[in-house]
A = this chain, B = another copy of it.
Amino acid sequence: MQVLILREPQIRQLIGPSRALEVVRDGFARLARGEASLPGVIGLDVPPHGGEVHVKGAWLHGTPYFSIKEAAGFYANLERGLSPGSGLILVFDATTGFLRAILFDNAYLTELRTGSAGALAADLLAPRAARQVGILGSGSQARYQLEALLGVRRPERVVVWGRTAERLEACVAEMRARFGLPVSVARSAREAVEGSAIVVTTVPTTAV
């Protein structure tokens, strides 16, 4: 059995936000037309370590592969200096069911897909001329959401709120440098929401 192994750096070279937007858009359209099998999700919690595990699987009808993906968020990892997110994707032959590839993407494709889904929703629902974007959350998904959103909208400014001042400052600085946009810190969730034509939420917390 030949199994192709791809690691995160290779995967990052093979696909980025603009291609992800295309394929996720196509996937949603096929799902809406009944051309995809998308069973329910496995959600497994590991409460002692703030862990949430999600497993998803799908097959686009007529395509040669189906895939199963695992993505975990262990929020207590942050206190240990580890990434909270991890994950991998298994790709199987739709004719035999045999494993064909393992994508050790460390949840990169999950982050990309989630960002694309947010941008596609904004593209369908938000006004064309959305001047201000408010983002709640300053983790990795905040960056992916903004990057994907910039594929469908050109806001004049971005306002970001996060619970941890240090992470929030780092996120805002990175966004400014990467996207060449005015990005500012909001002092509260309310401040990030008021005056924003698009609000992106990327935190699991209810404590705002």
Contact = CB atoms under 8 A, between A and B. Distances in A.
A88 interface: yes
The contact size tier of chain A is: 35 or more
Given A46-B97, A57-B53, A90 B70 contact: yes
Contacts of A53: 57, 66, 68, 92, 97
Nearest to A67: B44
A74 interface: yes
Interface string A46-81: 101101010111110000001010101110010010
Binding site secondary structure of chain A: strand
A9 interface: no
Interface stretch (A33-41, A139-147, A191-199): A33-41
Given A39-B44, A57-B44, A86 B66 contact: no
Nearest to A85: B97
A152 interface: no
Number of copies: 2
Given A39-B42, A40-B40, A43-B39, A68 B97 contact: no
A56 B41 CA distance: 10
Contact of A86 (B41, B48, B98, B104): B98
Interface of A: 37, 39-46, 48-49, 51, 53, 55-59, 66, 68, 70, 72-74, 77, 80, 82, 84, 86, 88, 90, 92, 94-99, 102, 104
Given A40-B42, A51-B97, A55-B57, 19 more contacts: A37-B46, A39-B43, A42-B68, A44-B59, A44-B66, A46-B66, A46-B94, A48-B94, A49-B96, A53-B57, A53-B68, A53-B92, A53-B97, A72-B92, A77-B96, A84-B97, A86-B96, A88-B90, A99-B104
